[in-house]
Structure 1
Amino acid sequence: MKNRYGNNWFKLFFALLLGFGLGATVFIFSSELNGGQRKMKKDHAIQNISDVENGVLAQKNILDSLNILKTAYDTVILENAALFEELELEKRNVENLMEIIQASHNPSINQIKIFRNQLVTLKASLDAKMEEIKKLKSQNKNLLTEIESQNVVMYKQKVENDTLISKQKKLETTLKDASKLALSNFNVVALKEKSSGKESETEKARNTKKLKVSFTVNANSIAKTGKRVFYIQVLDQKNSVLGENKLIEFGNDKALVYSFIVSTDFQGKSANVYGILNTDDSLFKKGTYFVNFFDKQEIMGSTSVTLQ
């Protein structure tokens, strides 16, 4: 019976020891579990705070980059009127993204990624435009250089043309002047008629029946050949035109009143020409008579005769 009592006590002690061990183990495990959960919650809270701070910082950085991008577009737009509409559209895209980011509070990581991707796209677009502008500037520079070269060539050509035109005009003027007929040996005499019909010179007005004018057409190898007409104008003391007293117009606002016409068949050699002014007995009076010689409207020379 004593052995039986000892066994029961031992079993009781062992049960108590086992219960105490299990309770301690449960307590320790529970404490560690609760501590681990609290740590995880704390770490998660810290991570959330860090994510928010990183999101705000990333948002600010993206906005700063967009501001720089917008300023770059403003500068490029001012310098490139040809691409104004395209650049303005790209600038508007930057401004729209800025407005979206500014309206976003505590953006998520995915939103930040989207904003960054859009920023990269806008930067790439600006880089492409800058490269295009660079090419255009290079092309414009080459074009300006080509235009300047062409202008130099054109200027030289113009100078040469002007020189040639000037020489041609001088040559034409020289040829025109050289081709003009020159008259010389202008002379006028009063004639009287004898009873025999023979004519002789006189200085007396009462004996004068006609005036004979003469001149020489000088030789000219480059002047136009053929029939050439000259107009003779005889003026009395009152400056009245004697003879036919006819008016001829030359079509260039030039006109001439002449006394009579003389002509000759000019063949490049010197030729003597004369003409007669017939008048009534009572026409010639004492005084000086002036005779002018015309090739069309141009006066070629003059002379005079005085009757007593």
Structure 2
Amino acid sequence: MKKQNEIKWFKPLFAMIFVLGVGAVVLVFSSEPEKNDSGAKEESIANIISSGSKETDVQKNILDSLNTLKMAYDEAILEKTALSKELELERKNVENLMAIIKASNNPSTEQIRIYRNQLSDLNTSLENRVQEIKKLKSQNKSLLTEIESQNVVMYKQKAENDTLISKQKTLESTLKDASKLYLSNFKVVALREKSSGAELETTKAKNTKKLKASFTLNGNAVAKPGKRVFYVQVLDQKNTVMGDNKLIEFGNDKALVYSFIVSTDFQGKSLNAYGILNADQFKKGTYFVNYFDKQEIMGSTSITLE
């Protein structure tokens, strides 16, 4: 009877232990997914934080590259070439992109890709500009060399021209001097008239009717032949021009008042020429006679009447 009672008590105890064991197992297995879900969430958050940090580093790297690019543009602009204005515009594009990147907060992958593409385009553009600047420098250097060569040629040509001009002027001066006419044998006499009409020399003022001024035109084979005109100027005691008393201008701000003209037909050989000054009355005193070839005085003489 006692043994039966023990068996009856053991069965309920075993059942309760079994139920408690099953519950513990269920509890363990039910809490395991929660742990897994929690770990997954933590890992996802870490990945997001890591991803944001990675994109920030990329953003900083792009800004550093753009800053380096901007300094490269600054140096290129200092070259002061024909491309300076274009370089300034492109530098402005770099600065604008830097401002956009700095203003963006946690840019997306697509934005980062766009930034990188723009950075690449700006780098390529700068490289092209640098090549153009090198080409311009090379062309300028060649042009300067060509200009210097031309300057040397022009300097030599100018020196040769100056030499030729100097020789030409010397030759012209030599020819001018060689072809210049010279007068000599200057003489002036007072003439009186006899009742027969003959003219005789006199020294008496009261008897003088005219003054005859003569000269010799020296021969010159180099001088151009043809009609030559000489001007004779007779001055009385008061330094007054006698005779025609006419003014002639020679076009170089020079002029002459003359008494009469002597015309000759020069053919390269020496010839004697003269001119006559008529007056109603000649006073006592000395008369001065000057001979001119245009405005240049060729000689002079004088006569004194008693």
TM-score of the superposed pair, with normalisation by structure 1: 0.82
Instruction: Tell me, in whole angstroms, the C-alpha distance in 1 between the residues paired with 2:89 and 2:256.
Output: 79
Q: Read off the aligned partner of 1:56 and give its amino acid letter.
A: T
Bigger shift: residues 265-274 or 157-166: 157-166
The aligned residue for residue 296 of structure 2 is 298
Q: SS state of the match for residue 300, structure 2?
A: strand
State whether residues 81 and 133 of structure 2, in contact with CA within 8 Å, keep that contact through their aligned partners in structure 1: no
Instruction: Tell me, in whole angstroms, the C-alpha distance in 2 between the residues paired with 1:249 and 1:38.
Output: 125
1:289 matched to 2:287: yes
Q: Read off the aligned partner of 1:126 and give its amino acid letter.
A: L
Q: SS state of the match for residue 191, structure 1?
A: strand
> Per-residue displacement from partner, 1:135-154 (whole Å, max 9, x unpaired)?
11111111122112212222
Q: Read off the aligned partner of 1:208 and give its amino acid letter.
A: T
Q: SS state of the match for residue 82, structure 1?
A: coil
* Correspondence list, 1:262-277, <5 A: 262-277=262-277
Instruction: Tell me, in whole angstroms, the C-alpha distance in 1 between the residues paired with 2:269 and 2:55.
Output: 113
User: Number of residues paired by the alignment?
Assistant: 291
CA positional deviation for 1:63: 1.0
CA positional deviation for 1:120: 1.5
Q: SS state of the match for residue 237, structure 1?
A: coil
CA pair 258-85 structure 1, distance change in 2 beyond 3 A: closer
Q: Read off the aligned partner of 1:258 and give its amino acid letter.
A: Y
> Per-residue displacement from partner, 1:212-231 (whole Å, max 9, x unpaired)?
22111111122221121212
* Correspondence list, 1:149-298, <5 A: 149-280=149-280, 283-298=281-296
CA positional deviation for 1:269: 0.9
Q: Read off the aligned partner of 1:159 and give its amino acid letter.
A: A
1:68 matched to 2:68: yes
The aligned residue for residue 89 of structure 1 is 89
Q: Read off the aligned partner of 2:260 and give its amino acid letter.
A: F
Q: Which runs of 5+ in 1 are unaligned?
A: 1-18
Instruction: Tell me, in whole angstroms, the C-alpha distance in 2 between the residues paired with 1:155 and 1:21.
Output: 118
CA pair 222-115 structure 1, distance change in 2 beyond 3 A: same
* Correspondence list, 1:34-53, <5 A: 36-53=36-53
Instruction: Tell me, in whole angstroms, the C-alpha distance in 2 between the residues paired with 1:146 and 1:110.
Output: 54
Across the aligned residues of Structure 1 and Structure 2, the Cα RMSD in angstroms comes to: 2.9
CA pair 159-56 structure 1, distance change in 2 beyond 3 A: same
Bigger shift: residues 34-43 or 256-265: 34-43
Instruction: Tell me, in whole angstroms, the C-alpha distance in 2 between the residues paired with 1:114 and 1:262.
Output: 104
Q: SS state of the match for residue 223, structure 1?
A: coil
Instruction: Tell me, in whole angstroms, the C-alpha distance in 2 between the residues paired with 1:163 and 1:294.
Output: 35
Q: SS state of the match for residue 204, structure 2?
A: coil
Q: Read off the aligned partner of 2:295 and give its amino acid letter.
A: Q
Q: Read off the aligned partner of 2:49 and give its amino acid letter.
A: I
> Per-residue displacement from partner, 1:88-115 (whole Å, max 9, x unpaired)?
3322221222122112212233332332
CA positional deviation for 1:195: 5.0
Bigger shift: residues 77-86 or 265-274: 77-86
CA positional deviation for 1:276: 2.5
Instruction: Tell me, in whole angstroms, the C-alpha distance in 2 between the residues paired with 1:216 and 1:193.
Output: 25
Q: Read off the aligned partner of 1:290 and give its amino acid letter.
A: F
> Per-residue displacement from partner, 1:119-162 (whole Å, max 9, x unpaired)?
12211111111111111111111112211221222222222222
The aligned residue for residue 59 of structure 1 is 59
The aligned residue for residue 14 of structure 1 is none
CA pair 208-102 structure 1, distance change in 2 beyond 3 A: same
Instruction: Tell me, in whole angstroms, the C-alpha distance in 1 between the residues paired with 2:293 and 2:186.
Output: 14
Instruction: Tell me, in whole angstroms, the C-alpha distance in 1 between the residues paired with 2:131 and 2:30.
Output: 67
The aligned residue for residue 147 of structure 1 is 147
CA pair 89-260 structure 1, distance change in 2 beyond 3 A: closer
> Per-residue displacement from partner, 1:196-239 (whole Å, max 9, x unpaired)?
54433332323333222211111112222112121211111112
